[in-house]
Copies of this chain bind each other. A is one copy, B any other.
Amino acid sequence: MPSRISRIEITPVAFRDPPLLNVVGVHQPWALRAVVEVHTDEGSSGVGETYGDEEHLARLRAAASRVVGCDPYDLHGIRRAVAVPLATGTGDAGRSFGGMLDLDSAVDTVFAPFEVACLDLVGREVGRPVSDLLGGAVRDRVPFSGYLFYKWAGHPGQPDDDWGEALKPEAIVDQARRMVRDYGFTALKLKGGVLPPEEEADAVEALADAFPGTPLRLDPNGAWTPETSIRVARRLSATLEYLEDPTTGIGGMAEVAAGTDLPLATNMCVISFEHLRPAVLAGAVQIVLADHHLWGGLRRSALLGGITEAFGMGLSMHSNSHLGISLAAMVHLAASTDHLGYACDTHYPWKTQDLVEPGVLDFVDGSVAVPTGPGLGIELDRDALGALHEQYLGCGVRRREDAAYMRTVDPGFRANTGRW
């Protein structure tokens, strides 16, 4: 008899997050995640990490009751089991992204942490790293980009954080210098969509001056019209490695693509498998950002990688605010995906707490060594998990609401999507 999943624990956690600005508002003081632990009747276990907003938590719990009894190898069966309670009423699946993304279905976002946990579990059982279960690591270190944000000096009513305000090009350059000094990043990404496009282009050019030769990316998250996108893309065509989601929609991106030679990347207009065909037919994007939390786990993200390779598109990796379980999973996915040709995004430097034992996921020269231990190669720090769960219970945040939080400061704020 194959082993069966006998018990699943879902633990929401909260960790402090700086006031990072984006197209829909500003990060709340607490970022939410959920830890999914899967146990078998034979005493094996594995972990996954995902979004922690209350709608997603409710879906995870509904799914977990159906995943119990499944074989941890039967990932297809687990995905089907997860899909059953999600067949209706998942129209708000975009909630996990603070309003930045529209998702038609929650199946892949709910399935993902169960899949990662099962791969961790199987890897532990057979004594192999998850990268081996994905076909083998093609690299032993995974490079990440330094993720730069416009930000306030501190959350309203709270002391300044130690990053301080970043609203001008010089401050973005200072932020980058610290990122590069502390982590060794050899690629940099600026989250845009916050200030008028020319100001963001100024910041990119300041970065190019300060870090000559370093690949640079700008992600306005759809804040611009196609016309503006083409204008700024032409200005930055020799400066950027790629421009991510300057405008919204496959049609809009295709219009921009036709007007510039600068490669366009997306984590907004192609966020599930059914978006690939129209994007290919329209010639809308040159690079797709994988994200295993969004695309249904590591194996389906590898499928996305294979599709981008087959269709002549590039592959990079997206990040939301996350902790160490997600980082480990991202590293195993990136390590086993030969086609991944860009440094991966990560919010990791912005957090000040974690729930995995230290020492495995350190950044050296901007890269994280692929864990070689069984499964994800990390261990949960139970005390830290408990502390982050206590923070969840006490923090009062239950959803990611960047726009609503921004309106506590700027009551007239509306998302910058398509603003310029």
Are A274 and B132 CB-contacts (below 8 A) given A76-B336, A77-B138? no
Residues of B within 8 A of A307 (CB): 303, 306-307, 310
A132's partner among B74, B132, B300, B303 (CB-CB below 8 A) is B74
Q: Most chain-B CB neighbours within 10 Å: which of A76, A80, A132? A: A76
Whether A394 sits at the interface, judged by CB under 8 Å, is: no
**Is A280 in contact with chain B by the CB < 8 A criterion?**
yes
Query: CB of A395 within 8 A of chain B?
Result: no
Judge whether A89 is part of the interface by a CB distance below 8 angstroms: no
Residues of B with C-beta under 8 A to A273 = 306, 309-310
Least distance between A226 CB and chain B CB atoms (Å): 23
Selected contact of A76 from candidates B76, B138, B300, CB within 8 Å: B138
B76 engages A338 (CB within 8 Å): yes
Contacts of A128 in B (CB 8 A): 2, 73
Interface string of A122-139 (1 = CB under 8 A from B): 000110100011011110
Render A307-328 as a binary contact track against B, CB cut-off 8 A, 1 for contact.
Answer: 1011110000000000000000
Interface: A276 (CB within 8 A): yes
Is A281 positioned at the interface, with any CB of B under 8 Å from its CB? yes
Chain A contact patch, size range: 35 or more
Chain A 179-190 against B: per-residue CB contact (8 Å), 1 yes, 0 no?
000000000000
Residues of B with C-beta under 8 A to A303 = 303, 306-307, 310
Instruction: For the complex, give the distance between the alpha carbons of A56 and B360 in Å.
Output: 44
Q: Which residue of chain B lies nearest to A138 when distances are taken between CB atoms in the complex? A: B76
A133 to B128, CA, bound (A): 13
Residues of B within 8 A of A300 (CB): 306
Taking a contact as CB atoms closer than 8 A, the residue among B126, B133, B281, B310 that contacts A281 in the complex is: B281
Known: A126-B126, A303-B303, A307-B306. A77 touches B281 (CB 8 A): no
Residues of chain B with a CB closer than 8 A to A336's CB: 76
Once the chains are docked, how many angstroms separate the CA of A78 from the CA of B135?
Answer: 10
Q: Which of A32-75 contact B (CB under 8 A)?
A: 71, 73-75
Known: A73-B136, A78-B136. 7 other contacts (CB 8 A): A71-B132, A74-B135, A74-B136, A77-B136, A126-B126, A273-B309, A300-B306
Which residues of A are interface residues toward B (Cβ below 8 A)? 2, 71, 73-78, 80, 125-126, 128, 132-133, 135-138, 273-274, 276-277, 280-281, 299-300, 303, 306-307, 309-312, 336, 338
Closest 10 CB pairs of A and B: A74-B136, A273-B310, A73-B132, A303-B306, A76-B136, A75-B135, A277-B311, A76-B135, A126-B126, A76-B138
